[in-house]
Amino acid sequence: MAKRRRFTADFKARVALEALRGDKTVQEIAARHQVHPNQVGTWKKQALEGLGSIFESGPVRDAGRETEVRDLHAKIGELTVQNDFLSKALKL
């Protein structure tokens, strides 16, 4: 039994974009990338449906990332204070 092929999101996006351009037929694109023409059509449809959501909201802010940045800035401040204290203590 053949293993199921898995495609990355980047690969799917490239194939869908090529299909959206309309320079080549779906069959030509499918043959070039060695996928079934129905799959190319599905990815093209998904790309068209998802385009609206890209422009719908503003920039995506990740709260976890902001917390991580805040924690790292606090750690940098703490290490700076320790470094200053130790450099003054060693000069005495």
Query: pLDDT tens digit string along 22-72?
Result: 999 999 999 999 999 999 999 999 999 988 887 776 666 677 788 899 999
**Does residue 1 belong to any structural domain of this protein?**
no
Domain match, 52 and 68 both: no
Residues 72 and 54 in one domain: no
Same domain for 35 and 77, yes or no, is no
Would residue 2 count as lying in a domain? Answer: no
Predicted pLDDT at 53: 81
- Domain range for 78 is 61-92
Quote the pLDDT of residue 61. Answer: 67
The predicted pLDDT at position 1 comes to 73
Q: Are residues 51 and 67 in the same domain?
A: no
Q: Do 14 and 39 share a domain, yes or no?
A: yes
Total tally of structural domains belonging to the chain: 2
Q: How far apart are CA 32 and CA 12, in angstroms?
A: 13
Indicate if 12 and 51 belong to the same structural domain: yes
- Burial string for 19-35 (b: 16+ CB within 10 Å, else e) reads beeeeeebeebbeeeeb
Alpha-helical (H) ranges within 22-56 are: 26-33, 37-56
Same domain flag for 70 and 44? no
